[in-house]
Amino acid sequence: MSKLRLGILASGRGSNLQSILDQITAGRINAEVAVVISDKKEAFALERARMAGLPAGHFNYRDFPSKDAYESSIVDRLKQHGVELVCLAGYMRIVGKVLLAAFPGRVVNIHPALLPSFPGLHGQEQAWAYGVKFSGCTVHFVDEGMDTGPIILQAVVPVYDEDTADELSARILEQEHKIYPEAIRLYAEGRLKVEGRKVYVNKNK
């Protein structure tokens, strides 16, 4: 079976990118990272891509006349590399209609909270400040809303009284590094079926 070609979009340190690369290297996902793209020149994710010998591209939002133009240019690059699934991994921009139209049902994201609670920025801090007893992370398909698409996988972590927001973030991140590669593995094996809001995982494959 041919390998699923992934395009990773990241804005920062790229630890989720790394977890995906590590699982691919370990032979657990039938996929390959075709290209890594960042809107931030200094993103460590780009450095990780280069260290892994992968194509890496920086697209500065300000170099383009509009969001559509910016996204068109990213879409061109993703297509040049034959990308089949776009994975947002700490990508700090809201994906617009151009990217979504180019990859319908083929954009996924990891969010550091149990959606639909605490969407948007800093999901971990929001949960911590709210005082919930459990939080976690969510891998979901991306739609035009803010962290609103159909949920693929979630992982739950406890929130302890003595936690700082940073400690909670670290506990959540550990789970992100497990469920994001796992969701991509399921997608690559053709085991996800989306019906409306629901994503069904075929366990018998």
The residues carrying an active-site annotation are 111
Q: Which residues pair with 136 in a beta bridge?
A: 156
State which residue, 15 or 72, has the beta carbon closest to ligand GRF.
15
Q: Which residue from 48, 111, 171, 185 is in contact with ligand GRF, where contact means CB under 6 A? A: 111
State which residue, 70 or 181, has the beta carbon closest to ligand GRF.
181
State which residue, 52 or 173, has the beta carbon closest to ligand GRF.
173
The bridge status of strand 192-195 relative to strand 198-201 is: antiparallel
x-marked contacts with ligand GRF along 147-176 as a string, rule CB under 6 A = --------------------------x--x
- Residues of span 50-89 touching ligand GRF by CB under 6 A: 89
- Is there a contact between 192 and 199 (Cβ–Cβ < 8 Å)? yes
Q: How far apart (Å, rounded) are the C-alpha atoms in residues 91 and 196?
A: 25
DSSP string, 12-49: S--HHHHHHHHHHHTT-SSEEEEEEEES-TT-HHHHHH
DSSP-derived 3-state class of residue 5: strand
x-marked contacts with ligand GRF along 12-31 as a string, rule CB under 6 A = xxxxx---------------
Give the number of other Cβ atoms within 10 Å of residue 191's Cβ.
14
Using CB under 6 A as the criterion, which residues of the chain lie in contact with ligand GRF when the complex forms? 10, 12-16, 89-90, 110-112, 173, 176
